[in-house]
Amino acid sequence: MYVAISGRFTEDVRNNLRRMRRRESDQVAELDYKLSSTRPDVVSWAWGEHLHLKAQMPASWCGKLSDTAIRFDTPERGTFRINVTLVPTLVVPPGRSPQGSVTIAPTDDEIKPYVEREAQLYDINERWDKVDKQLLEFLKKCKSVNEALKLWPQIEMYIPSDYIARVNEKKERSAHGPSEAAEALKSMDTDHLTTAAVIARMSGGKE
């Protein structure tokens, strides 16, 4: 059966891509992001120019901070900013709410597991951003779902199964002559696209 590249079809494919991305991301182990509030760099950040008064300040005058953001810079992936729970609650100067985030080296032992997790999630999103862009651009060039499947059979991994079933109800006659889609396919990284789909299936499959 002839199946057109409609707005509804495109949105269904886009939703399928989101599900596949999410399934892979969900395989990354969760971590409870915590940071010691007694670290010298955290205490110095919280007290700033008043650090020399900390030992003289009555506890009843001070405030408390239970969470904050930390920042770490990586040469390969740029800057990350994540929220952490401070353990124990951080004592801060009276009337002062520390601004910004604490900058910590990515090699720091306490945050190294967080760095590794964030890097893994970053790489997953980078890969799927590329898949989204190339796949949707290719579909825009196709006259039908049938043509997309004929030119690049592996695209079936990204298309919702009900559309595949409709295509298979009846074979469409082959169109003659080159098409925009055939030209677009030449510039696509099909190995990258296929690998992403395989990883997603290993993470839970396609609906």
Which of 134, 149, 145, 127 minimizes the C-alpha distance to 195? 127
Q: Which two tokens stand for residue 106?
A: 């990515």
Q: What is the pLDDT of residue 189?
A: 62
For residue 90, is pLDDT > 90?
yes
d(CA 167, CA 81): 46
Nearest to 134 by CA among 152, 116, 119: 152
Query: Residue ranges per domain, the chain?
Result: 7-28+119-202, 34-108
Read off the pLDDT of each residue in 110-118 and give the average, rounded to a whole number. 96
| Residue whose tokens read 């010298």 | 40
Distance CA 107, CA 102 (A): 15
Residue 172 pLDDT level (bands cut at 50, 70, 90): very low
pLDDT bucket at 130, cuts 50 / 70 / 90 = very high
pTM: 0.75
Q: CA of 6: how far to CAs of 74, 94, 105, 146, in Å?
A: 42, 61, 49, 13
Q: Is the pLDDT of residue 116 over 70?
A: yes
Closest listed residue to residue 64, CA positions, set 76, 39, 46: 46
The separation between CA 66 and the C-alpha centre of its own chain, rounded to angstroms, equals 27
Q: Could you tell me the CA-to-CA distances from 125 to 42, 89, 158 in Å, in that order? A: 30, 33, 16
As a whole number, mean pLDDT of residues 152-174 equals 84
Check whether 164 has a pLDDT greater than 90. Answer: yes
Stretch 14-42: mean pLDDT: 96
- The pLDDT tens digits for 43-56 are 999 998 889 999 99
Per-residue model confidence as pLDDT tens digits over 186-201: 666 666 656 665 566 6
Question: What mean pLDDT is reported for the chain?
Answer: 87
pLDDT at 171: 56
Q: Which residues pair with 80 in a beta bridge?
A: 72
Check pLDDT > 90 for residue 207: no
3-state secondary structure the chain: CCCECCHHHHHHHHHHHHHHHHHHHHCCCCCCCEEECCCHHHHHHHHHHHHHHHHHCCHHHCEEEEEEEEEEEECCCEEEEEEEEEEEEEEECCCCCCCCCEECCCCCCCCHHHHHHHHHHHHHHHHHHHHHHHHHHHHHHCCEHHHHHHHCHHHHHHCCHHHHHHHHCCCCCCCCCCCHHHHHHHCCCHHHHHHHHHHHHHCCCCC
Percentage of the chain exceeding pLDDT 70: 82
Query: How high is the pLDDT of residue 184?
Result: 63
